[in-house]
Each structure stands twice: as structure tokens, then as C-alpha cells.
Amino acid sequence: MSLSLQDVSKVGLLARLALTEAEVERMTGELSKIVEFVSQLSALDTATVEPLAHPLETRNVFREDEPQPSLTPEQALSNSPNHDGACFLVPAVLGESGAA
């Protein structure tokens, strides 16, 4: 299948590319070759090929998520420069009262 200059101009428009006439002519030949190659691939019999989510075999590289002892609230707040005994106190970001 060969693409026309109008096809490539439309693809350029959809891709929001400002192609010159010379670029449209050059891209017409290049995109036509790509479309022809994809057509060749579609001729292959893939009935016995299992679909893949990824071309390489993957495995989980993360450690198991196991519960660990956590800091007590006192330990967590011990190095905080400003806290009220239960929460970290930080400067307001969205306004003085913190309300939106």
C-alpha cells in the first residue's frame, strides 16, 4: 500500500506538525516503506504464537512486604522542630487557617 501526499499531509496535521512540501514528499516515501513493512508482518501466521504482555521474561525484584515494628509517636516526633505531641506542625501552605 502506497500513501499519497494528501495522506501524509493529513497525518502531519493530526500530529500537529508544520511540514513543508519537501518534508511531505520525503515523509511520503518513508511512511510508505513503513506501511509496506507492516503489511509484510501481517502476512505471517501467528495462530500458534501466545500473546505477550512483555517481550522479555519478567520477575518481581522487590522484597516481600512483611510487617516490621514501627516508631512510636514519641520516637517519630522526637526530632521534629515543631509538634504538638501528636502531629507535626508545619507552616500553612494554602493560607493562614489552612482552609481552602
User: Residue 34: inside a domain, yes or no?
Assistant: yes
Distance from C-alpha of 88 to C-alpha of 85, rounded to nearest angstrom: 8
Question: For position 59, what pLDDT does the model report?
Answer: 84
Distance from C-alpha of 23 to C-alpha of 9, rounded to nearest angstrom: 10
User: Residue 24: inside a domain, yes or no?
Assistant: yes
- Residue 20: give the domain boundaries: 5-42
Q: What is the pLDDT of residues 21-63, one digit of tens each?
A: 999 999 999 999 999 999 888 888 888 988 888 888 888 889 8
Provide the sign of the torsion angle of the four alpha carbons 19, 22, 24, 28, taken in this order: negative
Domain count, the chain: 1
Question: For position 98, what pLDDT does the model report?
Answer: 52
On the question of pLDDT at 75 being above 90, the answer is yes
pTM of this prediction?
Answer: 0.46
User: Residue 38: inside a domain, yes or no?
Assistant: yes
Question: Which CATH number characterizes residue 24's domain?
Answer: 1.10.20
- Under DSSP, the state recorded for 96 is S
User: Residue 95: inside a domain, yes or no?
Assistant: no
Distance from C-alpha of 80 to C-alpha of 87, rounded to nearest angstrom: 10
pLDDT band at 77 (very low <50, low <70, confident <90, very high): very high
User: Residue 70: inside a domain, yes or no?
Assistant: no
Question: For position 96, what pLDDT does the model report?
Answer: 66
Q: Is residue 31 a contact partner of residue 12, using CB atoms and an 8 Å limit?
A: no
User: Residue 97: inside a domain, yes or no?
Assistant: no
